[in-house]
Amino acid sequence: MPDTMKKRVIAKQRSTELKKHIEPYLSARPRIPDGFNHWSKILERQEKIKKHFNVTDEKWNDWHWQASRRITSVKTLKKLLNLDEQQLQAVSKVGERYRWAVSPYYLSLIDPDNPLCPVRRQSIPSWEELDDTCGQDDPMAEEYTSPAPAITRRYPDRLIINVTNQCAMYCRHCQRRRNIGEIDRMTSREQLNAALDYIRRNEEIRDVLLTGGDALMLSNENIDWLLTELDNIPHVEIKRLGSRTLVTMPMRVTDELCKALEKHSPLYINTHFNHPIEVTPAVAEACGKLARAGAVLGNQAVLLAGVNDDPHVMKKLNHELLKVLIRPYLIFHAKNVKGTAHFRTGVEVGIDIMEQLRGFTSGLAIPTFIVNAPDGYGKTPMFPNYLLSVGRNKVTIRTWENRVMVYEDHCVKKD
């Protein structure tokens, strides 16, 4: 057999091996709902919600209306979701301790007949929140890493400014639920100016993240003012906005917002999608606007039991994100926040997910799995162990297929 034909035979055999690796995902994928293949059902639910509020399509697509009509009462929730008395009691009781609110848009993503719906799990209070006996109010010790008003600093060259406590929807796994309170408010201009002064005095700060709460819940004018102030600090190279409105209220991305943002390149927006059902045509439209405005989009998912603690779900989420121009950036291990123990998995679950991403899909679809070190000591990446041993001029490695191989670490001359 000619040499070329032999190579082709080997290549075909390898292709057969590779196809076997992806068969489990291809089998699971049709059973994982996403926002595109369920869009017609979501639109039907939106019509029901519109009818309840007696609202026009124009108002529905106005983010100010969405924010002002967040569902916050058990009575309204009962009319829009199929909840039994025990579930309604849970919402009421939990609401006495932890604030909850859901935007009409995000409510439309919930399957009203599925008590295990991943969107419902993230947004509707449950009895589990009151059963947590080991959580902490501030597991990342943010109150001890705040050298100036509104600032959190854990790293040498970057920091956070907490600009508001407001969100379009209050996630049940929120890491800052202690800051939510019952009144929506922007951080005062006095505190923001103090934070900006701190950055001006510390020339090593080159990267600033505006978050909260949700940075995009600020007005366009306030966002523009903050970004302009940061632009005017010579040593600040990068601005970032932390926002979940792309997930929970994508109509926030208006032409006016994009005009404000496009003046402030380089600008990065970190968002927070946790399940493929959250990636919808409305999200795609918003992402397209932001991309045209020059914003770079990245996703920070949280590993949540009953939501995305499955390699196939996480893979599909990352694929759906790339299709709407969002780069999967991080997967956070759920923090030990009081009232959220039911969301926490073992770290090994996240490592197993990473094992089933690396090599099984493109590098663009592989975020970094992160554990936040206790007491505010920062993000620590968790990786499967691919380096088995180190020897003289060689290392022993394990590939994504669990093949153990020796890799020559330096050029070895052959006699």
- What mean pLDDT, rounded, does the chain reach? 93
pLDDT at 158 over 90: yes
Instruction: List the domain boundaries for the chain.
Output: 39-112, 142-381, 385-415
pLDDT exceeding 90 applies to what percent of the chain?
Answer: 83
What is the structure's pLDDT at 115? 87
Q: What is the pLDDT of residue 181?
A: 65
Higher pLDDT, 309 or 185: 309
* Gyration radius from the chain CA atoms: 23
Which residues on adjacent β-strands are paired with residue 237? none
Q: How far is the C-alpha of 300 from the C-alpha of 245, rounded, in Å?
A: 13
CA distance readout (Å), 126 to 72, 101, 336, 409, 411: 14, 13, 17, 54, 60
Which two tokens mark 173?
């796994």
* pLDDT grade for 415, boundaries at 50, 70 and 90: low
**Dist CA 132 CA 339 (whole Å):** 5
Pairing of strands 295-303, 327-333: parallel
Helix axis angle for 3-28 and 311-323, nearest 10°, is: 100
Task: Give the CATH superfamily of 142-381.
Answer: Aldolase class I (3.20.20.70)
Q: Which letter does DSSP use for residue 136 in this model?
A: B
Query: What is the number of helices (H) and of strands (E) in the chain?
Result: 15, 12
Measure the CA–CA gap between 292 and 301, rounded to whole angstroms.
24
Residues 326-373 pLDDT 10s:
999 999 999 888 889 999 999 999 999 999 999 999 999 999 999 998
Do 123 and 107 contact (CB within 8 A), yes or no? yes
